[in-house]
């Protein structure tokens, strides 16, 4: 059942990406990337990065390495794995896609694992070249980064114990709800009457749910399925009317149009080849 949910969402993602590209629309601010964003100084910094130290933006220096920032606490998109990890000790859908993008760009991928809320800062300071972390495009985040085309569409989902009376998002009013700090679930639930506890990772929230300390956890659909699968007795409650679709995309430093275009082209190629859907299938639980 959980697998079905995942598959369904993955397919929705594929359709959404196709629709977006057919419509010629870029969810991550297409206008910006064509240079209408008056970011002269940003463009300039891309050109000078490499001459200073050679570190930071491998993409802009033409180096052989490109650095991806992520937060490997978000299975099935990125997680630390001990068995057969794809690279270093990391595995997941985003990692798999990133490695393919690296191949397309002719660069090797280096992974920098860090807290989710440090990711966009790391982009801005040039510590990483791009961020891929199941990151939802939001208006607020678009102020600080440019986003690629959408590669996956998700929704928030409620995780509850089997016997819970919670059947919809409205039922969460007045309930003790766990969210992850700074995630879109946090942003959305902050505007409701739920009593929130904010955790550093989804697994911690689910542990408190299992121990009866909170009534529910609200988190992205695929990680919710993954967390519920690992914890018997937990079920997912979907409320399509309450939670809007969220689009995952890859973030680059604001104004880094060159890398953004390369990433979009690579994503499109992977999409056309059915690779993204295949990774979704591979990592579903």
Contact residues toward ligand GLN (CB under 6 A) are: 71, 74, 116, 133-136, 183-184, 220, 246
What is the closest distance, in whole angstroms, from the C-beta atom of residue 229 to ligand GLN in the complex?
18
Q: Which one, 184 or 257, has the nearer CB to ligand GLN?
A: 184
Tokens coding 37: 């964003």
Pick between residue 41 and residue 140 the one whose CB is nearest to ligand GLN: 140
Q: Max alpha carbon distance in the chain (Å)? A: 61
State CA 115 to chain mean position distance.
13
CA distance 43 to 65: 20
Helix or strand (DSSP H, E) at 270: helix 257-272
Output the smallest distance, CB 19 to ligand GLN, in A: 20
Give the nearest distance from C-beta 165 to ligand GLN in angstroms.
Answer: 27
- Check: CB of residue 57 under 8 Å from CB of residue 50: yes
Rank residues 184 and 271 by Cβ distance to ligand GLN and give the closer one: 184
Q: Which 3-state string (H, E, C) describes 168-193?
A: CHHHHCCCEEEEECCCHHHHHHCCCC
Q: 280 and 13 in contact (C-beta within 8 Å)?
A: yes
Beta-carbon count within 10 A of 7 CB: 14
User: C-alpha dihedral over 217, 221, 225, 228, to 10 degrees?
Assistant: 0
* Least spacing, CB of residue 84 vs ligand GLN, in Å: 22
Q: Which of 117, 67, 108, 71 is nearest to 92 (CA)?
A: 71
Joined tokens for residue 150? 């959408």
CB of 224 to ligand GLN, least distance (A): 11
Q: Which is nearer to ligand GLN, 50 or 69 (CB)?
A: 69
Nearer to ligand GLN, 135 or 203 (CB): 135
- Integer Cα distance of 137 and 34 in angstroms: 18
Q: Nearer to ligand GLN by C-beta: 104 or 186?
A: 186
Looking at the Cβ atoms of 136 and 256, the one nearer to ligand GLN is 136
């Amino acid at each position: 059942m959980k697998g079905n949910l995942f598959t369904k969402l993955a397919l929705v993602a594929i359709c959404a990406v196709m629709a977006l590209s057919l419509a010629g629309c870029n969810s991550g601010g297409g206008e910006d990337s064509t240079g209408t964003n008056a970011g002269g100084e940003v463009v300039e910094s891309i050109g000078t990065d490499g001459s200073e130290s050679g570190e930071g933006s491998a993409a802009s220096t033409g180096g052989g390495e490109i650095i991806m920032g992520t937060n490997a606490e978000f299975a099935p998109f990125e997680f630390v794995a001990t068995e057969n990890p794809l690279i270093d000790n990391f595995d997941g859908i985003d990692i798999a896609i990133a490695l393919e993008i690296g191949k397309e760009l002719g660069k090797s991928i280096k992974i920098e694992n860090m807290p989710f809320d440090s990711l966009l800062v790391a982009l801005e300071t040039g510590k990483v070249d791009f961020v891929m972390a199941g990151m939802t495009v939001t208006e607020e985040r678009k102020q600080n980064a440019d986003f690629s085309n959408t590669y996956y569409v998700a929704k928030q989902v409620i995780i509850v114990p089997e016997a819970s009376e919670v059947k919809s998002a409205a039922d969460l009013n007045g309930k003790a709800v766990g969210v992850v700090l700074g995630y879109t679930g946090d942003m959305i639930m902050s505007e409701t009457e739920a009593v929130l506890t904010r955790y550093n990772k989804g697994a911690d929230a689910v542990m408190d749910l299992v121990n009866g300390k909170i009534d529910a956890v609200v988190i992205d659909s695929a990680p919710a399925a993954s967390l519920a699968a690992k914890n018997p007795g937990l079920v997912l409650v979907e409320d399509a009317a309450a939670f809007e679709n969220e689009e995952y995309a890859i973030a680059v430093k604001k104004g880094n149009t060159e890398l953004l275009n390369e990433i979009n082209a690579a994503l499109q190629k992977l999409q056309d080849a059915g690779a993204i859907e295949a990774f979704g299938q591979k990592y579903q639980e």
